[in-house]
C-alpha cells in the first residue's frame, strides 16, 4: 500500500468475514465465528455470511461504502447496496453487512471493500471441497 493510499480518509481499521455480527443493547460490538475458508461437499454452493467493517478518521467526512465478492478473474459474483456513513475526528463508524452469494466452485475469492467508488481493502476467502457440512467453517 502506498503512502498516499494509507493517508486516504477514512482509514479502514477492520474488514472481517464472520458467521454473525451485531451490536447489543449496551452498545458493544460482537463479531462471532470469524473465518477465511468455506468447506462444502459439493458445488455450486449458496452461502450467507456477515461482513464487519470499521472506519476511523482524522477529519469529519461523509462516505459511501459497499462490499463485493470477486473471483480470480475479477468477475463480481455479488455485492451489497451502497451504505452512507460519517466519520469524525472523535468517532469512527462500524457497519455490518449480510452477504449472500453463490460460489460456482472451489477457488480463492476476494471480499473487497469499496469506499466512494475506490477499492480500499480486500481479504481472501477460500472455498474448497471437503467432508464437512455446507457452510462457513473457521
Q: Given the C-alpha cell 451489497, which residue does it identify?
A: 80
Q: How many domains in the chain?
A: 1
Q: Which residue range forms the structural domain that includes residue 79?
A: 3-137
pTM summary value: 0.81
Angle at 110 between CA 108 and CA 116, to 5 degrees: 170
pLDDT tens digit sequence for 49-103:
999 998 988 888 899 999 999 999 999 999 999 999 988 888 888 888 899 999 9
106: domain CATH number is: 2.60.40.2550
Q: Is the pLDDT of residue 5 over 80?
A: no
Amino acid at each position: 500500500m502506498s503512502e498516499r493510499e494509507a493517508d486516504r480518509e477514512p482509514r479502514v481499521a477492520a474488514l472481517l468475514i464472520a458467521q454473525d455480527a451485531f451490536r447489543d443493547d449496551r452498545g458493544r460490538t460482537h463479531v462471532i465465528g470469524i473465518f477465511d475458508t468455506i468447506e462444502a461437499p459439493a458445488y455450486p454452493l449458496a452461502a450467507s455470511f456477515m461482513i464487519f467493517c470499521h472506519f476511523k478518521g482524522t477529519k469529519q467526512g461523509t462516505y459511501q461504502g459497499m462490499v463485493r465478492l470477486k473471483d480470480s478473474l475479477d468477475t463480481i459474483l455479488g455485492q451489497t447496496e451502497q451504505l452512507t456513513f460519517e466519520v469524525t475526528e472523535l468517532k469512527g463508524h462500524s457497519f455490518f453487512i449480510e452477504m449472500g452469494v453463490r460460489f460456482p466452485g472451489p477457488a480463492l475469492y476476494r471480499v473487497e471493500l469499496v469506499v466512494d467508488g475506490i477499492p480500499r481493502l480486500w481479504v481472501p476467502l477460500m472455498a474448497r471441497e471437503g467432508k464437512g457440512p455446507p457452510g462457513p467453517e473457521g
